Structure 1
Amino acid sequence: MDFTPTEAQTEARDLAARVFGDLSTHERLRAAGTGSDPELWKVLCAAGLVGAVTDLGLLGLVLLLEEQGRTTAQVPYAASCVYGLLALAAHGTPEQRDRLLPALADGSTVVTGAFPAQGAVRASASGELTGVVPVVPWLRDATHVLVADTERRLWLAPLGRGADVTAVELTAPWSAGRLTLDGAPAEPLGGQGAHADVLASARTAFAGLQAGVCAGSLARAVAHVGGREQFGRPLATRQAVQLRAADAHMDTEAIRVTAYEAAWRRDAGLPYATHALTAAWWASEAGQRVVHTGQHLHGGAGADLDHPVHRHFLWGRQLDAYLGCGPELLEELGELIAHGE
């Protein structure tokens, strides 16, 4: 295994770091409220950081999502890249790729994913979808939604006729919505194995996003305890604070390395379903520990809902919920290992 980024991946990551660092500021996040930042999305697309994902691979996307997570930038980056660009690049027909990939790259088309529990959405023989998905992240920003039906077939449906959106507020400001499908027309995407690949890719990508969220939370906490004095000494000199921060650092690195491994294996054409579940488990279990630590180490400031570290806390908890609770992920991982998958 070699997780060393290629030159193209490194350049894209550095550019993403500059864009997010310059534009995803505390003031812009406050102005966005619980919605997204459409101007930042336009900048990302114009800079080529969306369209490049098809060439950079899943590992490249994970590197870019880390940078988004550090600043909790409110754009549908992970959703549109993993459920749109990577899904279409891997499983779309030539006609679908020619028609949709350019629009996804320039941001005029945004795809999100609705992967409900089995039985929630049914597809007719002619490809009309019926069912309800209570929560879909970034649905209010999307033009299309990738849906899995009762048989785990994938369908790409445009929002509009037969596909209605009702706003839903989540722990984090993810522009989420409730998706109601009533005979919505859709086109099939991929064949056997497409569902498993897209699901594993999404788990890996959102684990990478969590690595960035945790790194950003920890960086803020370290800066705070280094500058905050109590009884004439910086808080950072106290052993309890050092140990807590060290544990958070190790948790963050565990999330990062497991996400890198899963992404690298997909890009190398190797089986990676169990590795994606491992990354998701670390992101879920360790992620919520890290963002709690980040808030705790800020003391009273961490309780301020308007403090930047609180956004990392909200994102960390939302990603924990979105990826699935630890015991459920471990149960699924155990079943895959038992069946030799």
Structure 2
Amino acid sequence: MDAAFTEEQHEIRRTLRELLHKRCGPDEVKAAVRTPPGYDEQLWRQLAAQLGLPGLALPAVYAGVGCGPTELALACEETGRAVLPSPLIATAALAAPLILALGSERQRAELLPPLATGELTGTLVVPGGRLATALALTGANDGDWAGGGRAGGIQARRVAPQGAASGPKGGEGPGVGAGWRLYGEAGQVLNGHSAQVLVVAAHTGGFARSRTLLFLVRADAVGRTGAQVGDDGPAGLRGLLRTRQTALDETRPQARLELRDVPAELLGEGAEEGEGAGGADGAAVARALAATGAVAAAALAAEAVGAADTALARTVAHVRQREQFGRPIGSFQAVQHRLADLYVSLQAARSAVYYAAWSAGRGRSGEPTAAPYGPHATAEPGVAALALAQALETLRAVAAEAVQLHGGIGFTWEHEAHLYFKRAACDELLLGPVHRLRARAAEEAGLFPGGADAVDGGGPAGAAGPVRRRRAVPERRSMRDAGR
């Protein structure tokens, strides 16, 4: 493994850093988050047209750059430095990888090029705020995280076109030209109020053939944000309602989606006839979500590292200027020790993020057909979750110290230090918390092969677990006995 970056990777970092330094200061960030989409659309189009940012990790055959998760993580580190509000994570790390991994050739050719060039944005819709579980970052995604049973979450049912015979029990049969309808709701959807392409996780099959599949919804064809559009029924009873939610971190806008008999298309249509990429297979969906989770975790962790780096640099610059007792507070040893600890933690997190990105791409980039998001791509177990936990914890510590060391001005809500503080708090809610990420990483890495019983010491007689919480306390001996 060669850990050195290539000249192309260095160029991506330099170009993006220079552009964001000119166009994305704290005042520009605060102005962009208050626009209807929640980000600067002109800047996003410039990033897409000049740098191909949303298509960095997509194959060139779909108008992408043909790089991999490593290049995407490097770009995310730079966007994290500026706390850039953009649909980059939702589009490039969530929606596009799933379409590439599971979509049919027609779906890929139709959706991936506009996503890669920034003409369209996308996101992943998971009900119940279970995004981290769906991506297999905080738990196994083989359960009922999408809302099992006949109620709850998002339900999908097959419908036959007018004039065609319905399948058994309300259109569950294949049918010729049959479509799908989605019903349910989901909250905390990243960029859900503005994304044009929605990849929706929905439950289908009832109790007999219960499984979670992914569906495509073209939001611009169904309805607009904040408005319900009738569909062969009274207005207000059918359609898509999208409402932007109030979030602590305005740089990551989230939305609540209500789907009421919304027309949808199965991701990987034709899979049942052998033409697709496994879209109708629940196991394939779980694998693709897990592979996407590794890339998304590396990208989000890279943004956290970039934000922490900038927050630490600005804090160091501040303590060099702020004086107390006639000298800069940065000259005090206690302050220096605190900053040194943060620097060490930051470098450790950066190394973990780079390794996680390399592992998610299997050490390869630029392959035209075998994209790292493919259904057979597997990252090293536990690496992505562990890197994300390290990065989120580091950002939280750096942001807290930044507020503290900025003194009274740092506690004002309008100060730029709170941009990083809010980002640290909300990112952990998005794909955390940290302790569950670490627990999942330990589980995936097989640190406790005996399960919880072996860890607690409650396994079968004679079973030896690798780690036990209950350890025998040796008998105490007096100093006289110890000297014998």
Bin for the TM-score computed over the shorter chain: over 0.9
Partner of 1:83: 94
Call closer, same or farther: CA 1:309–1:76 in 2, change over 3 Å.
Answer: same
Call closer, same or farther: CA 1:138–1:262 in 2, change over 3 Å.
Answer: same
Q: Deviation per CA, 1:127-151, whole angstroms, max 9, x where unpaired? A: 4322221111212231112223344
1:178 maps to 2:211: no
1:137 maps to 2:148: no
Unpaired segments of 5 or more residues in structure 1? none
Percent identity between the aligned chains? 31
1:121 maps to a residue whose letter is: I
Which is helix-richer, 1 or 2?
Answer: 1
Find the aligned partners of 1:63 and 1:103 in 2 and give their Cα distance.
22
Find the aligned partners of 2:106 and 2:122 in 1 and give their Cα distance.
17
4+ residue stretches of structure 1 with deviation over 6 A?
A: none
Q: Are the aligned partners of 1:84 and 1:104 in contact in 2 as well (CA < 8 Å)?
A: no
User: SS state of the match for residue 100, structure 1?
Assistant: helix
Deviation (angstroms), 1:99: 1.2
Larger Rg: 2
Call closer, same or farther: CA 1:52–1:330 in 2, change over 3 Å.
Answer: closer
1:279 maps to 2:387: yes
Partner of 1:121: 154
Among candidates 225, 235, 245, match of residue 168 of structure 1: 245
Find the aligned partners of 1:276 and 1:115 in 2 and give their Cα distance.
20
Find the aligned partners of 1:66 and 1:210 in 2 and give their Cα distance.
7
1:97 maps to 2:113: no
User: SS state of the match for residue 74, structure 1?
Assistant: coil
Deviation (angstroms), 1:328: 1.9
Among candidates 130, 147, 167, match of residue 200 of structure 2: 147
Q: Are the aligned partners of 2:192 and 2:242 in contact in 1 as well (CA < 8 Å)?
A: yes
Partner of 1:36: 39
Q: Are the aligned partners of 1:166 and 1:178 in contact in 2 as well (CA < 8 Å)?
A: yes
Deviation (angstroms), 1:274: 0.9
Find the aligned partners of 1:127 and 1:337 in 2 and give their Cα distance.
38
1:216 maps to 2:295: no
Find the aligned partners of 1:210 and 1:24 in 2 and give their Cα distance.
17
Q: Are the aligned partners of 1:236 and 1:242 in contact in 2 as well (CA < 8 Å)?
A: yes
215-224 or 129-138: which moved more? Answer: 129-138
Number of positions where the alignment pairs a residue of Structure 1 with one of Structure 2: 340
Unpaired segments of 5 or more residues in structure 2? 59-65, 131-144, 148-152, 159-178, 204-210, 223-238, 269-276, 279-283, 363-376, 450-484
Deviation (angstroms), 1:56: 2.0
The root-mean-square deviation of aligned C-alpha atoms, in Å, is 2.1
1:244 maps to a residue whose letter is: R
Call closer, same or farther: CA 1:171–1:45 in 2, change over 3 Å.
Answer: same
Q: Are the aligned partners of 2:122 and 2:198 in contact in 1 as well (CA < 8 Å)?
A: yes
Deviation (angstroms), 1:252: 1.9
Partner of 2:416: 308
Q: Deviation per CA, 1:268-299, whole angstroms, max 9, x where unpaired? A: 25533411111121123332112111221111
Q: Structure 2-normalised TM-score?
A: 0.66
Find the aligned partners of 1:156 and 1:209 in 2 and give their Cα distance.
27
Find the aligned partners of 2:90 and 2:241 in 1 and give their Cα distance.
19
